Structure 1
Amino acid sequence: MDIKFDPNNVVIKLCMMGINLEDSGNIEDATTMFNKAWHEATDDYERFIAAYHFARQQKSITDKLEWMETSLRCALNINDENVKSAFSTLYLNIAKCYEELCDSNNASRNYELSNSYKGAPSDKGPFYHGTKAELQVGDLLTAGGNSNYKPELKMNHIYFTANANGAGLAAALAKGEGRERVYRIEPTGEFENDPNVTDKKFPGNLTRSYRSQEPLRIIGEETEWTKLTTTERHKWRENLAKNKGEIIN
């Protein structure tokens, strides 16, 4: 099974609206939005995401535990690399609930399960990198370039993803006048989850975004991905200009 994180998915859109409301301090409306996401969810992937966000808003620890366990149950039903990265976070949240309920046995068991899912990603790809640069098969992409998001920042890592549409977004936002290109790549060394997206708005690394200090080798060019419309591109650039968050380099 290969599920792609889709920012245009109705449930993910509702959750994003809820997160924005939460960020502006409007917790009540955020909770309503997450509840709506749960009721509109049609499969385990959507239910896992909606339940996780709804769980975070619960005032009662027993309710929070119940919704976190619901989220985990839905996630476990999905045999997908996309979701596996969230297990550590889900078990950790469940462990903390049990700890608050003074159930040390269940707390310990869930802390152990959380730790067992930590470590290097096991994603086998295929992997993609988006850019406007014209590259050839066999070329190596290396760290040290300027950030697309903060041009004054020299990047210590080279970034890639297992989501061709995610690489397409990076290509659309990349500097330069060339055409948008998405290349199929293979990492030449170890890589890690991109900390700029992992466990930020969603549990784990649902966008399957990674980074490496070792070069990435170009193995081909991808032609099939969903390109942004002019309006979408403008909106992304606007959001990036507003974003004052720190980049974890």
Structure 2
Amino acid sequence: MTHSPTGPDTGATFYHGTRADLAAGDLLAAGWTSNYQAAPMSWIYFSAALESAIWGCELAAGDGRERIYIVQPTGDWFDDPNLTDQKFPGNPTRSYRSQSPLRVVGEVESWDPHPPEILQAMKDNLARLQAEGAPIID
């Protein structure tokens, strides 16, 4: 008997925002540095909300093109406690994490970016939190 991966929003379309150049079939995995910090991460993050993935790619470090991939979890996934427990009870951002890889199954070719002033305000806030030593992601 084969275990089918399960988690919140089972059956939804899932997204991952990044600046990495990937192709269908590639795997995104924990154990690498994240979009936001240089330390290796023990989780891979994704969302069932396109808006969350837009933030992910817009805030990702690096010079690559902002990309939003459609992904499929290969293992069980869970609510992202960085958001659901601390910022948005009930998980309205539909943000999740897994220790199993995510398989890239496609790319969102067209999406609306945040207005420059909104994006800059978010970047300024993240820079302030980092300067204060606040952990951005567990």
Give the structure 1 partner of residue 27 of structure 2: 140
Change (3 A) 1:122 1:229: closer
Whether 1:131 and 2:131 are equivalent positions in the alignment is no
Change (3 A) 1:239 1:248: closer
Task: Give 1:203's match in structure 2, choosing from 78, 83, 89.
Answer: 89
SS of equivalent residue, structure 1 residue 197: helix
Change (3 A) 1:176 1:211: same
Mapped partners of 2:97, 2:10: distance in 1: 12
| Matched letter for residue 134 of structure 1 | D
TM-score under structure 1 length normalisation: 0.49
Structure 1 residue 134 displacement after superposition? 1.0
TM-score under structure 2 length normalisation: 0.84
Contact 1:184 1:222 in 2 (8 A): yes
Structure (1 or 2) with the larger CA radius of gyration: 1
Matches within 5 A, 1:36-185: 120-149=7-36, 151-185=37-71
Mapped partners of 2:127, 2:109: distance in 1: 29
Structure number with the higher helix fraction is 1
Give the structure 2 partner of residue 245 of structure 1: 134
Deviations 1:95-124 (A, max 9, x none): xxxxxxxxxxxxxxxxxxxxxxxxx52432
Mapped partners of 1:191, 1:223: distance in 2: 25
Contact 1:132 1:174 in 2 (8 A): yes
Structure 1 residue 248 displacement after superposition? 5.3
Higher relative contact order (CA 8 A, sep 6+): 2
Structure 1 residue 234 displacement after superposition? 1.3
Contact 1:165 1:225 in 2 (8 A): no
Query: What count of residue pairs does the alignment treat as equivalent?
Result: 129
Task: Give 2:78's match in structure 1, choosing from 188, 192, 202.
Answer: 192
Determine what percentage of the aligned residue pairs are the same residue.
Answer: 48
SS of equivalent residue, structure 1 residue 201: coil
Give the gaps of 5 or more residues in structure 1: 1-119
Change (3 A) 1:137 1:175: same
Mapped partners of 1:248, 1:135: distance in 2: 23
Change (3 A) 1:227 1:248: closer
Mapped partners of 2:44, 2:86: distance in 1: 20
SS of equivalent residue, structure 1 residue 219: strand
Whether 1:219 and 2:123 are equivalent positions in the alignment is no
